[in-house]
Structure 1
Amino acid sequence: MKEVSNAVSLEAVAAKKRLSRNFFKRGISLALFSGLTYGMYTAFLTMGMTKGVWSDWYGDNTAGLSAFVVAYLLAALGSAINDTCSAIWAILYAIAKGKFGDFLRCINTTPGRIMILAALIGGPVAGTAYVIAIQMAGSIVVPISALCPAIAAILGKILFKQELNKRMAFGIAICVFASFLIGSTGFSGGASAKTIAGILIAIIAALAWGFEGCVAGYGTAMIDPEIGICIRQVTSGIANLFILVPIFGIMAGKVSISFNLAMQAFTSAPAMVWFALSGLLSVITFMTWYAGNSMCGAGLGTACNGTYSFFGPLFCLLLLGIYGGMDGWALPSVAWFGALIMMFGILTISMNPLDLFKNRKQEGVADEAA
């Protein structure tokens, strides 16, 4: 009887370990998928800003728009439309899951207000800067914006006294080196002022996203991630469309231009198809990232999500360069190499890469014991 009991106990322990490993691996898969979908979101959003009325604005500019409007107002409008579509998808998802009431109740709570703050930093500031940078310098800015995990680690140390050990500092140094390596490819054959400005604006996006990560990390510890995502996307969509875009319109000379351009953009069907898809991918990205973090840990989840530094340029090349036949989306080999180095740096910040091999070895021993 005792032998039977011991055998049952060993089987239960082995089953629990297999369940934990599967749960951990599923978390990694979800976090990696979030990096994949973020790369797709980047390509779909950029494609949308080449279709319909956008092709007139960015192409021959038959509307006679000023350089300021083309460089900044249109980028803010593109980000606003994407976030608005994303907010609609997030609300529909909350309704389908029966959580829309929870969403309304959580808005005016401490965690809800924290998520609103995170959304204001990550949406109007980081999101718009990211779109402006892509329009000015191309997909080369995607890996540079992926510096946000390194920045989040530094800000976490400064703001919340979080751990920043030698390994993490080494990972940050790797990311900085990779960003310079990638940025240097934009200077081949002479650097244009537009490319330099795009790279600098991409760094602003990385700073804002890093700060958002610190703030949102605190907020999502006290709130359902799916509700938090809904709050974030709705706040970002409203702030971009009704605050940031009109401000750029005022800076351009008259606020009415922002409303006129917004009406034209929202009624441009060829472009809105792509914006609807990019908005959907935005929701999927955040949902899978948050879910992955909860299953495999925020450190490893963030590292896996950071693979968009590779997937972003890849999908821009496939969708815009190859499918769309547009020039300027191919990246030199050194940029791809730099993106891979940055992915390794992000992983080093999040965890000791050697632990991956230790885990595999421990899993093998556990399987043999079972």
Structure 2
Amino acid sequence: MKKNFKGILLGLSSGMFWGLDTALNGLVLTMAPFILADARLISGTLLLAFFHDFISALLLTADIGVHGGLKATVTLLKNRSAHFVMVAALFAGPLGMRAYLYAVDTIGSGLTATISAIYPAVAAILGAIFLKDYLNKRGWLGLMLTITAIGILGYTNLASVGSMVLGILAALLCVFGWASESVITAYGMKDDIEPKQALFIRQWTSSLAYLLFMFFEGDWMFSVQAVVLSPSIWLTVALAVVGTLSYLCYYSAIDTIGPVKATGLNVTYSIWTVVFTLILMGGEFDLKLIVCGLLIIVGSSLVIKD
């Protein structure tokens, strides 16, 4: 019972931190140098994705090193289970996260969070196929209720959506990447890898993949220097810290209660994204936000209840 409660709390915390992460992403992408039209600069979404995961990787390295577990963690890289985590990292980072940031930059953080939040349904299907991790009827009802509430929350005028096809497709690509990550990571952590070690492997794999893309996209040294020397670097670091906390909670939830329930709880980031975006960007709460927030809570409760 205590283990299940811990997993539920971790899953909900991952959603809250990721909602803040999404809102901060939207804010950072409006700042220099991410919006500068300099031909030497790499695209803002790729640049931010790299810093997001690279700073996170440095933080995890320092934390594991301080606790004396760095050598043991590096040794795990030769294990088969670590290779699955690396594959999951490629689905989550270069595929999922970059698509997510592109969508945030194109169609906004609110609509992106809305569309991408259907990934638990995809994860549930993949989990049932590959891990035999099934939701019961009540769980499926809760998941569908949550996704419906998210759809209502992010509803926009269809006429405006037509001009944002690429952003919507990017958000759907993110759905596939994140759903695959949760299932592959759960498989990789079945044996001998702890959540923090898995996240260490994930962030370094993702960072190196981003760096490889940066080599081919533009002047990567100039772009990195532009970010480091800009006032936005401090907000970028704060963003990476928040992202790391979200990932740690999420991976721990996957390890504790399984990928299906963990994603069902993590999806609450959609409501947190709206809340934090309103706080950071300004705006007013409305009845739709309150009602949908309650539906998401009810839906998530059905998902986690055995």
State whether TM-score is above 0.5: yes
- In structure 1, the gaps of 5 or more residues are 1-19, 250-256, 323-328, 356-370
User: Alpha-carbon deviation of 1:45?
Assistant: 2.7
User: Alpha-carbon deviation of 1:165?
Assistant: 4.2
User: Alpha-carbon deviation of 1:265?
Assistant: 3.6
Counterpart amino acid of residue 171 in structure 2: A
Q: Is 1:226 matched up with 2:234?
A: no
Match of 1:199 among 137, 145, 168: 168
User: Alpha-carbon deviation of 1:123?
Assistant: 0.4
Q: What SS does the aligned partner of 1:52 have? A: coil
Instruction: Give distance in 2, aligned partners of 1:203 and 1:39.
Output: 18
User: Alpha-carbon deviation of 1:339?
Assistant: 5.4
Counterpart amino acid of residue 308 in structure 1: Y
Q: What SS does the aligned partner of 1:51 have? A: coil
Counterpart amino acid of residue 232 in structure 2: A
Change (3 A) 1:231 1:260: closer
Q: What SS does the aligned partner of 2:156 have? A: helix
- The answer to which structure, 1 or 2, has the higher relative contact order (CA under 8 A, 6+ apart) is 2
Match of 1:96 among 53, 56, 66: 66
CA RMSD after TM alignment: 2.8
Alpha-carbon contact 1:225-1:290 (below 8 Å) kept: yes
User: Alpha-carbon deviation of 1:274?
Assistant: 1.3
Counterpart amino acid of residue 40 in structure 1: L
Alpha-carbon contact 1:178-1:338 (below 8 Å) kept: yes
Instruction: Give distance in 1, aligned partners of 2:222 and 2:104.
Output: 20
User: Alpha-carbon deviation of 1:331?
Assistant: 7.8
Q: Is 1:351 matched up with 2:304?
A: yes
TM-score by length of 1: 0.72
Partner of 2:229: 268
- Stretch of structure 1 that moved more, 130-139 or 260-269: 260-269
Q: Is 1:141 matched up with 2:112?
A: yes
Cα shift readout 1:105-159 (whole Å, capped 9, x = no counterpart): 0112101101000000000000001101111111221132122211100112233
Instruction: Give distance in 1, aligned partners of 2:156 and 2:102.
Output: 16
User: Alpha-carbon deviation of 1:194?
Assistant: 4.3
Instruction: Give distance in 2, aligned partners of 1:286 and 1:182.
Output: 24
User: Alpha-carbon deviation of 1:40?
Assistant: 1.6
Partner of 2:11: 31
Cα shift readout 1:65-98 (whole Å, capped 9, x = no counterpart): 8xxx99xx32122111211111111111111221
Partner of 1:361: none
Alpha-carbon contact 2:77-2:83 (below 8 Å) kept: yes
Instruction: Give distance in 1, aligned partners of 2:173 and 2:46.
Output: 15
Q: Percent identity?
A: 25
Match of 2:88 among 118, 129, 132: 118
